[in-house]
């Protein structure tokens, strides 16, 4: 009876029903061996795949219910495997070390924090190295909004993508990336225009993730710890950033050099290239020779400026400046009663073509404006005046052709322009080595703050694994 059923069975399975005749009858081994000795089962390679699994289970292929139940079990098993695979690849929270600010101006504390998985349009990265910028110092000292404590500062950094959220396509796990405090969504009118680098879809914000204003950090007790500048918060072994605030880097560039392009060097070089558009043979005066000011000098050098004047109270900056194109130096402390603007006008025969203010003092902004040439002089302001002091400008000089321009992040569009700077460095055109004056491990981060505040460093590379 069983053999008769086996010979006449000509059905195939579709879902839970049977449809249509087969072109040839199914062939099976000896049914007595198949159904009475399951542990000794040896099936032919030609046997249909849906009967080769779990050969120890007694199934009568001529009974529709048996086949249907087996298919249900196989389907459930496949779903369990798929679910297990998905669970194994879904990013989990990470516990790591971070330098947390809990009181204005007090030393950062190395604490354990929990970094949440990236959400949609976000990536989580493992920070390789970071550095301290004057912007970090400014917020660290700040009492009240926009500084919100406890907070993790840091934004000039480089890392490797550890995991990605939904809808992230431009980077993958393992990519070398830098965070940027300005976004480039690539979709809004500002991002599509050459006139501005101020993304309208994801505008600049000091605290909170760009799309929802929340944080991805909590401390060991589960309390909220705030991030910084678009989610960068690079004073942490791991951090989460919006993909619009991330630039993929050529892996050929050393991490410590890529770190510089995350903020300071891009800001200064961009101001000379994209904002001022320094012309070959022109005269340039730079007020403040920190990392940003020296990057302006490097940008002006690459643009072919004929004369680059550096103004700073620290004579130690002059030697480094020479290697980055500065031709003349002015120390206001050595001028007596003579205004620095008068000295620069005398040096340039009427004023510099381009004056860059890179400190953030209203008085220095006025000096820079007065040092520029009547008729065509441009004053570019990169520093942030944090004291609320007004800038004093002579309106008659504005009427006579002088202009003042602001420069946030050097006018660069991060995803478009930073790769160009990387190429310039790899081609040995753009200098970066001169900007790194110190290196240290993560646990010495407070020492890096001290060196910058005391004017003893340009950029201190802080390695997270040291």
Same domain, 225 and 271: no
pLDDT of residue 90: 86
117-151: per-residue pLDDT in tens? 999 999 999 999 999 999 999 999 998 888 899 99
Q: What is the pLDDT of residues 335-379, one digit of tens each?
A: 999 999 999 999 999 999 999 999 999 999 999 999 999 999 999
Do 26 and 130 lie in one domain? The reply is: no
Question: Looking at 50, 81, 112, which one is the last position of a domain?
Answer: 81
**Quick check: is 422 in a domain?**
no
Do 205 and 118 belong to one domain?
yes
- My answer on whether 58 and 9 are in the same domain is yes
What value does the mean pLDDT take over residues 283-293?
98
Residue 420 has pLDDT above 60, yes or no: yes
Can you tell me the distance from the alpha carbon of 437 to that of 119, in angstroms, rounded to the nearest whole number? 37
Distances (CA, A) of 58 to 32, 72, 77, 361, 386: 11, 15, 18, 86, 81
Determine what percent of the chain is predicted with pLDDT higher than 90.
76
* Residue 323 belongs to domain with CATH number: 3.40.50.720
Predicted confidence at residue 193, as pLDDT, reads 94
Look at the chain and report how many structural domains it folds into.
3
Backbone φ and ψ for 156, nearest 5 degrees, come out as: -95, 105
In which domain, by residue range, is 190 found? 94-262+431-463
- Binned at pLDDT 50, 70 and 90, residue 206 comes out as confident
Residues 330 and 439 in one domain: no
Q: What is the tens place of the pLDDT at every residue in 185-201? A: 999 999 999 999 999 99
Q: Does residue 66 carry a pLDDT above 90?
A: no
Instruction: Give the pLDDT of residue 65.
Output: 57
The domain that holds 101 is classified in CATH as 3.90.180.10
Q: Does residue 400 share a domain with residue 334?
A: yes
The answer to whether residue 53 scores a pLDDT higher than 80 is no
With bands split at pLDDT 50, 70 and 90, how would you rate the model's confidence at 19? very low
Looking at the structure, do residues 120 and 170 belong to the same domain, yes or no? yes
Same domain, 300 and 438: no
- Cα–Cα dist 95/414, whole Å: 30
Beta strands in 269-402 (DSSP E): 283-287, 307-311, 328-330, 354-357, 378-381
Return the residue matching tokens 């001169």: 434
Residue 50 confidence (pLDDT) = 40
Q: Can you list the pairs that 345-350 forms with residues at least 24 positions away whose Cβ atoms lie under 8 Å?
A: 345/371, 347/309, 348/283, 348/285, 348/307, 348/309, 348/373, 350/374
The reply to whether 270 and 258 lie within a common domain is: no
Q: Is the pLDDT of residue 255 over 70?
A: yes
User: In terms of domains, do 371 and 391 share one?
Assistant: yes
89 is a domain residue: no
Q: Would the pLDDT of 34 be above 80?
A: no
Q: Using an 8 Å Cβ cutoff, are 190 and 196 in contact? A: yes
Q: Is the dihedral of CA 279, 407, 423, 253 positive or negative?
A: positive
The answer to which of 44-48, 173-177, 196-200, 287-291 has the lowest mean pLDDT is 44-48
Q: Is 86 part of a structural domain of the chain?
A: no
pLDDT of 9: 40
256 and 177 in a common domain: yes
Location of structure tokens 């990336």: 177
Is the same domain home to 251 and 285? no
Evaluate whether residue 420 is within a structural domain: no
- List alpha helices for 333-394, DSSP H: 340-348, 362-371
State how far the alpha carbon of 343 is from the alpha carbons of 321, 334, 368, 370, 433, in Å: 19, 11, 12, 11, 32
Q: Tell me if residue 211 falls in helix, strand or coil.
A: coil
Highest mean pLDDT among 35-39, 192-196, 267-271: 267-271
């Amino acid at each position: 009876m069983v053999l008769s059923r086996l010979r006449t069975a000509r059905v195939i399975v579709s879902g839970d029903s049977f449809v249509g005749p087969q072109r040839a009858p199914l062939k099976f081994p000896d049914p007595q061996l198949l159904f009475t000795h399951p542990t000794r089962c040896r099936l032919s390679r030609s046997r249909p795949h849906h009967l080769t699994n779990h050969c120890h289970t007694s199934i009568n292929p001529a009974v529709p219910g048996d086949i249907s139940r087996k298919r249900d079990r196989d389907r459930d098993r496949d779903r369990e495997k798929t679910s297990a695979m998905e669970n194994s690849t879904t990013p989990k929270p990470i516990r790591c070390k971070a330098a947390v600010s809990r009181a204005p101006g007090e030393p950062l504390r190395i604490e354990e924090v929990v970094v949440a998985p990236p959400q949609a349009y976000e990536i989580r990265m493992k920070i390789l190295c970071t550095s301290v910028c004057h912007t970090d110092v400014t917020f660290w000292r700040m009492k009240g909004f926009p500084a919100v404590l406890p907070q993790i500062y840091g934004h000039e950094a480089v890392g490797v993508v550890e995991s990605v959220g939904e809808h992230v396509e431009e980077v993958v796990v393992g990519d070398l990336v830098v965070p940027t405090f300005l976004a480039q969504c690539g979709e809004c009118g500002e991002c599509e225009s050459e006139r501005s680098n101020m993304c309208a879809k994801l505008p600049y914000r000091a605290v909170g993730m760009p799309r929802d204003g929340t944080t991805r950090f909590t401390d060991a007790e589960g309390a909220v710890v705030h991030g910084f500048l678009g989610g960068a918060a690079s004073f942490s072994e791991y951090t989460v950033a919006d993909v619009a605030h991330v630039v993929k880097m050529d892996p050929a560039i050393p991490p410590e050099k890529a770190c510089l392009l995350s903020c300071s060097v891009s800001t200064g070089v961009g101001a000379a290239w994209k904002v001022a558009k320094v012309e070959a043979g022109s005269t340039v005066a730079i007020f403040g020779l920190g990392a940003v000011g020296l990057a302006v000098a490097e940008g002006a050098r690459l643009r072919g400026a004929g004369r680059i004047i550096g103004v700073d109270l620290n004579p130690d900056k002059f030697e480094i400046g020479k290697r980055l194109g500065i031709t003349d130096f002015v120390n206001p402390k050595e001028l007596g009663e003579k205004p620095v603007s008068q000295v620069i006008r005398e040096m340039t025969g009427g004023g510099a073509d381009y004056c860059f203010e890179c400190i953030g003092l209203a008085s220095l902004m006025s000096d820079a404006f007065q040092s520029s040439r009547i008729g065509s002089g441009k004053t570019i302001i990169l520093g942030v005046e944090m004291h609320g002091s007004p800038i004093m400008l002579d309106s008659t000089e504005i009427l006579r052709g002088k202009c003042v321009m602001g420069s946030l992040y050097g006018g660069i569009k991060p995803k478009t322009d930073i790769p160009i700077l990387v190429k310039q460095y790899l081609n040995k055109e753009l200098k970066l080595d001169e900007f790194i004056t110190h290196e240290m491990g993560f646990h010495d981060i407070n020492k890096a703050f001290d060196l910058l505040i005391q004017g003893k460093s340009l950029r201190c590379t802080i390695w997270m694994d040291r």
